[in-house]
Structure 1
Amino acid sequence: MIYLWAIPIVIAVFLLLTMIVITGQQNVRMIETFGKFRSIRSAGLSFKLPWPIQTASREFSLKQLQLAEDVGVKSIDNAFLNVPIKLQYRVNPELASDAYYKLDKPEEQIRSYIVNQVRATAGGLSFEDLFKSRDTFEGDVAETLCEKMAEFGYIIVNVLVDDPQPSQQLREAFDRVISSQRLREAATNEGEAARIMSVAKAEAEGEALKIKGSAYAEFRKTVAEGNAEALNKFVGETGLTPKDGLTFFNSINEMEAVRDAAQYGGKTVFIAAAAKTESAAAVMGMVAGTESDNASSSRAEDQNGALPD
């Protein structure tokens, strides 16, 4: 008899326990009546009809989740890269039943949307543009996923796109391109520096020539003024004409030239300025040269002594 009373008690306790629904924080449970969705139970303690009339599903998380995916893409200029993407998403509490029942494996389906959208966006961009299009990727993926996943009760919180990662061969080729560009820029800069130095040097030389020309002009001016002053003084004191004075000065210069030439010996030919009009002046230099040769021979004989008969 004791066992017969115990059986209903055990059954009642079992049914009572199946009526209790305890749900953790940031989780929900689906209540089904004979397999049909009935209601959603949020965090805390709640009750339902006993089993098998109603059943409670396992806890379904409302926490924010993150999904990371490296998407292999091909650019419009045939460069292959991996685009790292991180997606942050969560279940909409008001549509938790859609998220629970409509999708069997939500992560796989979200990955499929990400891969398709990223490859479609990358297909119209060049290799260099891929590094500048993080905002484009984020915007396109977020827009597509927000629209698609909202139907299934999911909210896309954020899309994060890191820098594309090229292959090792592509990275080395890109480094060589950058290096050649830097070398070309360096050569251009060096050529520009050499051109500037050449221009500066030419300008300096031109300025120096101007200074020298001014100095020569000033020197000639000073000499001319000195000669004019001397000529005027000579004419005033001697009573000769300016032409006679110039002739006198030329003859003095010619005699000094003959004297200087005779000092070095050898054969020296001197053509006087008056050789155009006076034949005597034309032979003055040759006479001077002959006298210089004779003088040199006489000095040599005096040094060696007279030759015996």
Structure 2
Amino acid sequence: MANTCFYLCGCVNQASIGVVEKWGRFAKLAEPGFHFFNPFAGECLAGVLSTRISSLEVRIETKTKDNVFVQLVCSIQYRVVKQNADDAFYELQNPREQIQSYVFDVVRAIVPRMTLDELFEQKGEVAKAVLEELEKVMGAYGYSIENILMVDIIPDTAVRKAMNEINAAQRLQLASVYKGEAEKILQVKKAEADAEAKYLGGVGVARQRQAITDGLRENILNFSHKVEGATAKEVMDLIMVTQYFDTIKDLGNSSRNTTVFIPHGPGHIRDISEQIRNGMMEASSSNI
């Protein structure tokens, strides 16, 4: 009578590793693929572990050095090492809780030594410290820590509100400084423009008076050459009288004027003549 053997078969999927036992003891690791197991020899597929990268999000609430309560959100990426899959299968009952406990321990030991501002600036250092501790501990259990990301740092609501108010106040203060500087520049430029305008206005008035003086001098000289016996004073008086009546005529023809009081008399004409003559003499003396 021939011996009859019974075999059981099993399949290990890709990105997985199988754990094979013989009579309840670990025998070997089964690579992805199809496998035969002899139940009469006590072989069986005890379990399958995934070798893909898994992600675990951990939320830790702790206190900083300046007594600010914060909540940190860490993302831990880990995987089973194929060569040590038996350790990962037999040593830890719940690897996720184990990882979470070590993250809590490391973070709550480092963060209280930092202020809130230092925590925001050095969150990479916190993640690095957690990574080093987890690699050292979890490596003995057949797990590899691929990366740790400090996803978020959430201060207490009252603290965030106070920080926003401080930031807003600083920005308003900076805006006030810039506004004051801008107003100062505008006032300086306005004063410079006003001074330049007054200077140019004075130059224009001086040139206007010089042109009037030159024109009167030319008219007096022409009239004196054409009319024999006429003195410069007589010509000046004649021009002044003519200009005086032309001015009165222009004032009367203007539609915008209603009533204009003008002192009139021979004495006033003589005063105007003397003023113009004195102006001509001063202009001539300034050109010398």
Whether TM exceeds 0.5 here: the answer is yes
Residue 145 (str. 1) matches residue 131 (str. 2): no
1:243-296 CA-partner distances (Å, limit 9, x unpaired)? xx69x97xx99xx9xxx7576xxxxxx9xx9xxxxxxxxxxxxxxxxxxxxxxx
Return the letter of the residue paired with 1:158: N
Contact map agreement 1:23 1:41 (CA 8 A) in 2: no
For residue 109 of structure 1, report the CA deviation from its aligned partner. 2.1
Structure showing greater Rg = 1
For residue 66 of structure 1, report the CA deviation from its aligned partner. 2.1
For residue 137 of structure 1, report the CA deviation from its aligned partner. 4.2
**Which structure 2 segments of 5+ residues have no match?**
245-261, 266-270, 275-288
Residue 189 (str. 1) matches residue 178 (str. 2): yes
Aligned to 1:28: 18
Tell which has more relative contact order, 1 or 2 (C-alpha 8 A, sep 6+).
2
Return the letter of the residue paired with 1:22: G
For residue 153 of structure 1, report the CA deviation from its aligned partner. 1.1
**Which structure 1 segments of 5+ residues have no match?**
1-11, 264-269, 274-309
For residue 234 of structure 1, report the CA deviation from its aligned partner. 8.7
Return the letter of the residue paired with 2:209: R
Alignment of 1:207-218 (within 5 A): 207-218=196-207
Contact map agreement 1:68 1:87 (CA 8 A) in 2: yes
Contact map agreement 2:91 2:141 (CA 8 A) in 1: yes
Residue 225 (str. 1) matches residue 218 (str. 2): no
For residue 154 of structure 1, report the CA deviation from its aligned partner. 0.6
The verdict on how the C-alpha distance between 1:31 and 1:85 changes in structure 2, with shifts beyond 3 A counting, is: same
For residue 186 of structure 1, report the CA deviation from its aligned partner. 2.9
The verdict on how the C-alpha distance between 1:221 and 1:119 changes in structure 2, with shifts beyond 3 A counting, is: farther
CA RMSD, aligned part only? 3.9
For residue 233 of structure 1, report the CA deviation from its aligned partner. 7.1
Alignment counterpart, residue 81 of structure 2, candidates 86, 92, 96: 92
Aligned to 1:172: 161
Alignment counterpart, residue 104 of structure 2, candidates 103, 115, 119: 115
Return the letter of the residue paired with 2:158: Q
Contact map agreement 1:82 1:165 (CA 8 A) in 2: yes
The verdict on how the C-alpha distance between 1:48 and 1:42 changes in structure 2, with shifts beyond 3 A counting, is: farther
Aligned to 1:154: 143
Percentage identity across paired residues of the two chains: 27
The number of residues matched between the two structures is 238
Indicate the SS of the match to 1:103. coil
Query: By percentage of residues, which structure has more strand?
Result: 2
Return the letter of the residue paired with 1:46: F
1:68-121 CA-partner distances (Å, limit 9, x unpaired)? 111123334332211111212111111112222333432222112222333445
The verdict on how the C-alpha distance between 1:23 and 1:121 changes in structure 2, with shifts beyond 3 A counting, is: farther
Indicate the SS of the match to 1:77. coil
Alignment counterpart, residue 37 of structure 2, candidates 28, 47, 54: 47
Normalised to the residue count of structure 1, the TM-score between the two structures is: 0.61
Equivalents in 1 of 2:108, 2:22: separation in Å? 41
For residue 136 of structure 1, report the CA deviation from its aligned partner. 3.9
1:129-163 CA-partner distances (Å, limit 9, x unpaired)? 54455544444433432333222211123323322
Contact map agreement 2:12 2:30 (CA 8 A) in 1: no
